[in-house]
Amino acid sequence: MTSDTHIPPRWPVWKLALLLYVFAAAAVAINLFMLGLLGQALGFAALPPRIAVLLALPLGVPAAWLAGRWVDRLLAEAGRG
């Protein structure tokens, strides 16, 4: 008995990162804003939400790349099982 299961090719990491960029940048923005609130408790100036979002735009790129690598490893692990 032969198995005709076709395993589709996995997406490259850059495509996964591109897909996940919006979510990664949003997570970075939220974390920066929360860090600004923590800094305010320590005596620093508050970080406005707009500044947190603007800072998250470039910082979301490495975060998305790491998320893409993580999802790629999960897909590889699921494909072995």
pLDDT in tens, 25-61: 999 999 999 999 999 999 999 999 999 999 999 999 9
Residues 6+ apart with CB under 8 A from 69: 13, 17
Question: Is residue 2 a part of any domain in this protein?
Answer: no
Question: Is residue 3 a part of any domain in this protein?
Answer: no
Q: Please give the pLDDT value at position 8.
A: 73
For residue 2, pLDDT over 80 is answered with: no
Question: Is residue 22 a part of any domain in this protein?
Answer: yes
Q: Please give the pLDDT value at position 5.
A: 67
> What is the total residue count of the chain?
81
Question: Is residue 6 a part of any domain in this protein?
Answer: no
Q: Residue 39: which domain range?
A: 13-80
Q: Please give the pLDDT value at position 74.
A: 94
Question: Is residue 4 a part of any domain in this protein?
Answer: no
Question: Is residue 20 a part of any domain in this protein?
Answer: yes
What average pLDDT does this structure show over 13-33? 97
Number of independent structural domains in the chain: 1
| Tokens coding 25 | 């940048």
Question: Is residue 1 a part of any domain in this protein?
Answer: no
Distance (Å, rounded) from C-alpha 35 to C-alpha 52? 10
- Helices 13-41 and 49-80 pack at an angle, to 10 degrees, of 140
Contact yes or no for 67/13 (Cβ under 8 A): no
